[in-house]
Chain A
């Protein structure tokens, strides 16, 4: 996922400062290297190294028409601006990802299109897994796509199993499907349970729980 890791070129503290300083200029404005040095407060020489690295990536363009490094001007390219934008989005996304994973938003918190789309996609997945009939799916999709708060949204998916566990459950037997001699169409979970019972003699073993315990 491109949003999960910060762009290493921009994430470096000095380069981040250079890129941020250039990005704060009105569109297309160039800055002399000496001026940039003053603004950032870096010792002589170090911005030049940054600029070389950023230049190689096509994030900045250095113009050295005079042949004198001190008179050279530097400007952020469109590519550099886009990379910085992506970087900022990634930073904003970072704590959000974590929050979504561990905290359920309050029921009266309003939802956005992204939340509705995610909920609709998960309903589709539940339908594909057989947890929902087509009728139930369409009723719940309607509820999901018109939901305005997290409370309304969660009602549509409340009684459905955790999808991450569902994935674990189906991944297990899927490997078995590739084996020769296996009858397709037979319930996968049951097949897996029988195998365990036959191999270990543990008749009381609850096969459906097994992958969940691994998850």
Chain B
């Protein structure tokens, strides 16, 4: 057992919160950037950086839609991200045993 059993990309508290929040959505559902920001309580700049890291690893996907005046960014967990969270949760469960 090594330390990378706990996915460092998910382990960071803020990203754990982001991934857990997105995982609570039903498959195919997305969350708007502002809603996510409200739920987690982060500044936009901070959230963007964490989302970018997660997107680079293909854990989340983001879509920007614009109707001319207003553009909305929505994010969702990818299948890969859901699997990674599952593995992370399992690793944590193994670690904590029956506690």
CB pair A95–B99 under 8 Å, yes or no, is no
Instruction: Return the contact of B13 from the options A6, A40, A101 (Cβ within 8 A).
Output: A6
CB pair A20–B24 under 8 Å, yes or no, is no
Residue of B nearest to A42 (CB): B3
CB pair A13–B20 under 8 Å, yes or no, is no
Residue of A nearest to B8 (CB): A13
A65 in the interface (beta carbon within 8 A): no
* Complex interface residues of chain B between 1 and 24 (CB less than 8 A to chain A): 1-3, 6, 8, 11, 13, 16-17, 20-24
Instruction: Return the contact of B95 from the options A5, A8, A20, A95 (Cβ within 8 A).
Output: A20
Complex Cα–Cα for A24 and B39 (A): 34
CB pair B11–A13 under 8 Å, yes or no, is yes
B10 to chain A, nearest CB (A): 11
B84 in the interface (beta carbon within 8 A): no
* Complex interface residues of chain A between 9 and 49 (CB less than 8 A to chain B): 11, 13-14, 16-17, 20, 23-24, 40-41
CB pair B20–A23 under 8 Å, yes or no, is no
Q: A6-B13, A13-B3, A13-B6 are in contact. Are A103 and B24 (CB under 8 A)?
A: yes
CB pair B99–A20 under 8 Å, yes or no, is yes
Q: A6-B13, A23-B99 are in contact. Are A98 and B1 (CB under 8 A)?
A: no
Q: A5-B13, A13-B3, A102-B31 are in contact. Are A24 and B99 (CB under 8 A)?
A: yes
CB pair A94–B16 under 8 Å, yes or no, is yes
B97 in the interface (beta carbon within 8 A): yes
B48 in the interface (beta carbon within 8 A): no
A88 in the interface (beta carbon within 8 A): yes
Instruction: Return the contact of B24 from the options A5, A6, A99 (Cβ within 8 A).
Output: A99
B96 in the interface (beta carbon within 8 A): yes
Q: A13-B11, A24-B97, A41-B2 are in contact. Are A103 and B26 (CB under 8 A)?
A: yes
B91 to chain A, nearest CB (A): 10
Q: A41-B2, A95-B24, A102-B31 are in contact. Are A16 and B99 (CB under 8 A)?
A: no
Residues of A within 8 A of B97 (CB): 20, 24
A120 in the interface (beta carbon within 8 A): no
A91 in the interface (beta carbon within 8 A): yes
Instruction: Return the contact of A14 from the options B3, B21, B39 (Cβ within 8 A).
Output: B3
Residue of A nearest to B6 (CB): A13
* Complex interface residues of chain A between 86 and 101 (CB less than 8 A to chain B): 88, 91, 94-95, 98-99, 101
For the complex of A and B, 9 pairs with smallest distance between CB atoms: A98-B24, A98-B21, A99-B24, A95-B20, A13-B3, A13-B6, A94-B20, A20-B95, A20-B96
Binding site for B on A (CB under 8 A): 5-6, 8, 11, 13-14, 16-17, 20, 23-24, 40-41, 84, 88, 91, 94-95, 98-99, 101-103
Given A8-B13, A91-B92, A102-B21, 20 more contacts at CB 8 Å? A6-B16, A11-B13, A13-B3, A13-B11, A16-B6, A17-B3, A20-B96, A20-B97, A20-B99, A40-B1, A41-B1, A88-B99, A94-B17, A94-B20, A95-B23, A98-B20, A98-B21, A102-B25, A102-B31, A103-B24
